[in-house]
Amino acid sequence: MTMTKIRTKPPELPEGRWTDPLVRTALCLLLVAALFAAWGGWRWYAAAHDDALAFSKLRDDVVQSGEQHVQNLSTLDHRDVAKGLATWRDSSTGELHEQLTAGAAQFEKDVKAAQTITSAKVLSSAVTQLDDRAGKASMILAVRITVTTPDGDPSVKTNRLVAQLERTPGGWKISALGQSPTGAS
């Protein structure tokens, strides 16, 4: 068949492959399937390139790392100070890391003398600031710290902590950690 034939005799299409009802049905199905595939592909692309979604995941990463590292940094057992301090170094970066490294020897001596076991539990936390490009974040955390001394009952205290985080090749780590100040009146 040629285009001219169709144009000259439009109502009577010649019997051919494209007029077969089966072929037409198959074509319709193909069209629907192609549209569905295109829509699915677009949805996938959109999800993979959704900035808000990526940022949400980043925020949750920061929360998870931050909670774990703050818990690590609030935990120390006099029976194995070396291991505890190694964990501290692993969980910290930047200035805090330097401080911990510099003060390690003195600290080890103090903790061994006091024979304290300090454990921590993060009760709640949330990110206050997150800068993806700079690789910096701030968090606030409610942390329950239990200090056990050889004599006497363990002392339990809930702390309001503020942590600064930085992205390192080994993930998000703590660059500063301290008590949230009480408001000056």
The site for another protein (CB under 8 A) is made up of 16-17, 20, 22-23, 25-27, 29-30, 32-34, 36-41, 43-44, 46-48, 50, 52-53, 55-57, 59-60, 123-128, 130, 139-140, 142, 144, 156, 158, 160, 162, 180-183, 185
Q: Which two tokens stand for residue 24?
A: 């037409």
Helix axes of 51-73 and 81-91: crossing angle, nearest 10 degrees: 160
Whether 174 and 63 have beta carbons less than 8 Å apart is answered as no
Whether 132 and 55 have beta carbons less than 8 Å apart is answered as yes
**For residues 114 and 78, what is the distance between their CA atoms, to the nearest angstrom?**
8
Shortest Å, Cβ 70 to another protein: 13
Phi, psi dihedrals of residue 133, rounded to the nearest 5°? -65, -45
Q: Nearer to another protein by C-beta: 68 or 87?
A: 68
Shortest Å, Cβ 68 to another protein: 17
Shortest Å, Cβ 136 to another protein: 13
Q: Nearer to another protein by C-beta: 25 or 115?
A: 25
